[in-house]
């Protein structure tokens, strides 16, 4: 069917107006926000009916069954009538083309659909979960992984991903901690920038890029009791200091869309929180893309108790700055009447539609609605050797070696290994939660990967991963005694983390710890490999095992990555991006906590901020991780004793590989503000650098400190630095004690 005459006239109008001569910015950090004008957006707004405008604010899901992708008949009718302008969960080049043809050829104006999907840590090639990715402390490689994900997704007809997740979290009970970058705003900001750059590249019109979506705005990672979707309540200062920076970093990097979070903030659901969506996001930060609700987020405002019904919720959400309704159907059903009755102004609706159409224009969809629908590109760019090599590299960098007693690792090639544990032979669990369109076919389990390195492999699952029962213990013990070393693969089932996967315990589920005790009683050396999506209570396991390797859910190439690390073909370089507590009673525990009026400084003193039954210190601190070598640090040296506004100071330290193997150290810079108009954290991460050194090699690592690194939300809620003394720590984790001082004079 031919395009409508009106659409062709609109295209002619675009041609007569001409395209702006402004080119995409060379800096990819701002490339997605280049100042092109899109006359077609204005042209369409002039001729669109009220129903067609509302249709652009509607986002409905596609489905998937055994025969492939499918869509509900009613949604097809809505697309054809111009009542649905966006679809999520629809992919493959052929399927998206079929839906796009309906929108372009069978509607009055031929406005193309926008296709979105949860491409969280890979599309077909699955990378480690995001908590694992952040443990690499390698923004360049993280950006590369996002670029690969974008290429694969775009080749499958997708335009838009609901990523990066920028939610800072210090609550391991919350299942979605697995999807974020951990506990620190500085590291989280670096990860957010890298992922936006990777998805969007330098030019959104490139068919190998997709639009990013910053989520979940805001503070979704701080639910009370760690229970998903639960209430979030905090001061404005804590929100801005601790939680907002990664979202802002992603927006500053050019992210085209933002997703409102499920939670409330300051008594108002984020879905209709004008303070978040308009005052901060648009007025303060200058965000010019569109905001989308989370799945049925508009509908859920009724349950929150701030909306009388779905009509009321829809009005509140759009007026607050939420441009697109994901799956609730409220905008579609109620906005027309709301506009006609003046409850939503035509200007407010037009601005929402303008933002949505502009993102479509930036993606080049008006010039070629089918540019992403290439079967040939889909076949050529999916799970290539290059993609898999990057997945292997990032999986190896993401694993964190927590313990290596008596240098039991690396194992000797060709040695005999007993592989025990319910997750050892599971390829599926390696992919983790939110695995995009990843498939287990061709994924090698840890057991299979170890078999390619060991001389003899003996295997026993030992127990179920989560159910009670010790029926397999005897076989596991017999298996352990047959080999020179035992590798135990324990953890959480992959569906025990992610959305709606909160836990009241962060111990290993089922009988796994009891299985470890049984094997440890044999006296055999034990290497514990962990698959999990949250910090766990490893207080018992860390004593029972000789070595502990935190592998998270390492993705498509995770089996090979773990085996390469165990047998020394790769060296561990991951560092924790989140604190591991000694037990759940310490939670929330994080390195950037503030001091108290009674800090714990005197061992044995009663009236200090401490526990009666547990040390204050974590089991494994933020930034921690071992390698197969050792490093020493010289005392930090400063270029001067202070500076003032507009100035800077250089901090440097010499790092030396004091071991016998090559290794990579993550050198970390922390600052402490000794006096402020409001209380300040004990330490703040303000820089890091990965450094690879040969045995005996030394390198001077240098960081520049400016006013920006000292700034915070002051007592009067202005943002900036204050005069005073600062301590500088340069070390391998957040427990650094050696420091030098400088003075900032304002």
Nearest-angstrom CA–CA distance, 538 and 157: 43
Beta-bridge mates of residue 632: 656
Q: Enumerate long-range contacts of 443-449, CB under 8 Å, 24 or more apart.
A: 443/556, 443/558, 443/559, 444/559, 444/560, 445/559, 446/419, 446/487, 446/489, 446/529, 446/558, 446/559, 446/562, 446/563, 447/419, 447/489, 447/559, 448/559, 449/559, 449/560, 449/562, 449/563
Residues 6+ apart with CB under 8 A from 368: none
Please give the Cα distance from 714 to 406 (Å, whole number). 48
Give the C-alpha separation, 301 to 315, whole Å.
Answer: 11
Give residue for tokens 């995770």: 558
CA 147, 151, 156, 158 dihedral sign is positive
Report the relative pairing of strands 114-117 and 160-161 from DSSP bridges. parallel
Phi and psi for 463 in degrees, rounded to 5? -165, 175
Cα end-to-end distance, the chain, whole Å? 69
Annotated active-site residue 474? The verdict is no
Contact 588, 596 (CB under 8 A): no
The H or E element containing residue 311 is: helix 310-320
CA distance 186 to 199: 20
**Which listed residue (294, 323, 537, 546) is catalytic?**
294
709 contact partners, CB below 8 Å, separation of at least 6: 671, 686, 687
Q: CA triplet 114, 119, 122: central angle to 5 degrees?
A: 140
Of 210, 184, 205, 183, the residue nearest 195 (C-alpha):
210
Q: Which of the residues are catalytic?
A: 294
């Amino acid at each position: 069917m031919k395009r409508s005459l009106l659409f062709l006239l609109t295209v002619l109008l675009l041609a007569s107006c001409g395209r702006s001569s402004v080119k995409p910015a060379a800096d990819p950090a701002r490339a997605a926000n280049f100042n092109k004008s899109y006359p077609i957006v204005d042209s369409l707004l002039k001729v669109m009916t009220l129903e067609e405008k509302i249709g652009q604010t509607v986002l409905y899901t596609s489905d998937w069954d055994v025969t492939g992708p499918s869509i509900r008949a009613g949604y097809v009718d809505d697309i054809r009538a111009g009542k649905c302008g966006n679809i999520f969960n629809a992919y493959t080049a052929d399927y998206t083309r079929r839906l796009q043809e309906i929108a372009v050829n069978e509607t009055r104006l031929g406005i193309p659909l926008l296709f979105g999907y949860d491409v969280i840590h890979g599309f077909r090639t699955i990378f480690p979960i995001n908590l694992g990715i952040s443990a690499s402390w390698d923004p360049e490689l993280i950006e590369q992984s996002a670029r690969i994900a974008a290429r694969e997704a775009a080749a499958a007809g997708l335009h838009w991903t609901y990523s990066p997740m920028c939610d800072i979290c210090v609550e391991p009970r919350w299942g979605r901690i697995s999807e974020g970058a951990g506990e620190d705003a500085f590291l989280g900001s670096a990860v957010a920038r890298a992922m936006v750059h990777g998805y969007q590249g330098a030019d959104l019109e490139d068919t190998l890029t997709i639009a990013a979506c910053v989520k979940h705005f805001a503070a979704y990672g701080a639910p009370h009791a760690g229970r998903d979707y639960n209430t979030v309540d905090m001061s404005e200062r804590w929100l801005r200091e601790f939680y907002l920076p990664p979202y802002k970093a992603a927006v500053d990097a050019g992210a085209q869309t933002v997703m409102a979070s499920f939670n409330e903030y300051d008594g108002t659901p984020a879905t209709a929180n004008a303070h978040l969506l308009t005052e901060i996001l648009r007025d303060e930060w200058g965000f010019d893309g569109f905001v989308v609700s989370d799945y049925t987020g508009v509908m859920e405002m009724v349950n929150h108790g701030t909306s009388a019904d779905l009509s009321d919720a829809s009005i509140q959400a759009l007026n607050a700055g939420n441009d697109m309704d994901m799956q609730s159907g409220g905008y579609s059903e109620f906005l027309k009447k709301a506009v006609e009755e003046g409850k939503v102004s035509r200007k407010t609706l037009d601005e929402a539609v303008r933002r949505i159409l502009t993102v479509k224009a930036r993606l080049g969809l008006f010039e070629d609605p089918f540019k992403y629908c290439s079967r040939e590109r889909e076949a050529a760019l999916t799970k290539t050797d290059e993609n898999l090599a990057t997945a292997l590299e990032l999986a190896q960098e993401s694993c964190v070696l927590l313990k290596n007693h008596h240098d039991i690792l690396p194992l000797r090639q060709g040695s005999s290994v007993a592989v025990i544990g319910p997750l050892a032979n599971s390829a599926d669990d390696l992919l983790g939660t939110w695995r995009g369109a990843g498939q287990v076919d061709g994924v090698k389990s840890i057991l299979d990967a170890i078999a390619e390195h060991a001389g003899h492999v003996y295997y026993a699952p030992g127990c179920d991963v989560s159910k009670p029962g010790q029926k397999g213990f005897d076989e596991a013990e017999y298996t352990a005694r047959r080999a020179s070393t035992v590798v135990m693969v324990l953890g959480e089932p992959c569906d025990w983390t992610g959305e709606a996967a909160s836990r009241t315990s962060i111990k290993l589920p089922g009988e796994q710890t009891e299985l470890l005790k049984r094997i440890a009683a044999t006296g055999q050396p034990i290497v514990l490999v962990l698959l999990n999506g949250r910090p766990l209570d490893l207080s018992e396991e860390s004593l029972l095992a000789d070595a502990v390797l935190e592998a998270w859910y390492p993705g498509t190439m995770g089996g090979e990555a773990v085996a390469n690390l165990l047998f020394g073909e790769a060296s561990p370089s991951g560092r924790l991006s989140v604190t591991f507590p000694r037990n759940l009673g310490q939670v929330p525990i994080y390195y950037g906590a503030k001091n108290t009026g009674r800090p714990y400084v005197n061992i044995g003193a009663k009236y200090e901020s401490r526990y009666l039954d547990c040390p204050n210190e974590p089991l494994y601190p933020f930034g921690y991780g071992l390698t197969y070598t050792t490093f020493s640090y010289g005392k930090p040296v400063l270029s001067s004793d202070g500076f003032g506004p507009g100035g800077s100071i250089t901090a440097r330290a010499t790092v030396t590989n004091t071991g016998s193997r090559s290794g990579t150290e993550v050198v970390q810079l922390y600052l402490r503000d000794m006096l402020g108009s409001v209380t300040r954290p004990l330490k703040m991460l303000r820089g890091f650098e990965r450094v690879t050194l040969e045995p005996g090699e030394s390198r001077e690592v240098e960081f520049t400190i400016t006013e920006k690194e000292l700034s915070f939300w002051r007592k009067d809620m202005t943002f900036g630095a204050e005069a005073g003394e600062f301590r500088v720590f340069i070390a391998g984790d957040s427990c650094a004690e050696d420091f030098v001082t400088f003075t900032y004079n304002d």
